[in-house]
A and B are shown apart, each in its own frame.
Chain A
Amino acid sequence: MQTIDARGAFCPGPLMELIAALKLSTIGDQIEILSTDKGSVADVPEWVAKVGHKMVGVTEKGDHWSIVVEKAK
């Protein structure tokens, strides 16, 4: 699983980094993004649902969140 460390980046940086990585991946790949941006916790799942990918999970890890998305299309 590819991990993108977007800690310290503000909105919409983590989302844009995730999207760029998804574009380069293949269907079934999972990508983890690490973010300190509170908005990402709601924004990423919202975007994933809208465009048709799959949310694997959101986990709080102390001072940041781990958000895992699977490319579905």
Chain B
Amino acid sequence: MAAAPLFILLCSGEHEKIQMAAMLASVAAVSDRPVRVFVSMNAILAFEKGKSASERYHGGEFSRLIKENKVPDAIELFGQGKMLGDMTMHACSMVMDLKKWELDHLADGLFDGMLGLTKFLADAEDGELMTL
């Protein structure tokens, strides 16, 4: 039986939560599980195109350790999940409107489009929803 899709609602701008979301998404995607990621609120700021890691990620003790050690970068992990598995990423249309951003403001090759929360929630009824 096929695994239920994993829906990830990523709204925290905290590095540790973005990292965890990237790990969950990429590992699930490469394990033959469809993954749908919806990025909203402060999390969207980490995906702004052209930022360095120090500008992109802000957090606590583990953010520091992740940056100091050879831990895969969250943005790269999301990219690997998309490349190697069935994974889509959507930016929350509300936060994109508030920031007056278009998709080309976000890191290249990650986002499949913008989406409203209502549609994401409706789709998530068919799978397991995790919020970070």
Contacts and interface: CB of A to CB of B under 8 A. Distances in A.
Given A12-B26, A16-B84, 14 more contacts: A8-B70, A9-B70, A10-B69, A10-B70, A11-B23, A12-B23, A12-B27, A12-B77, A16-B26, A20-B80, A47-B30, A47-B31, A50-B31, A51-B32
B71 interface: yes
Interface residues of A, number: 14
A36 to B, nearest CB: 10
Contacts of A51: 30-32
Interface of B: 23, 26-27, 30-32, 69-72, 77, 80, 84
Interface string A1-39: 000000011111101100110010000000000000000
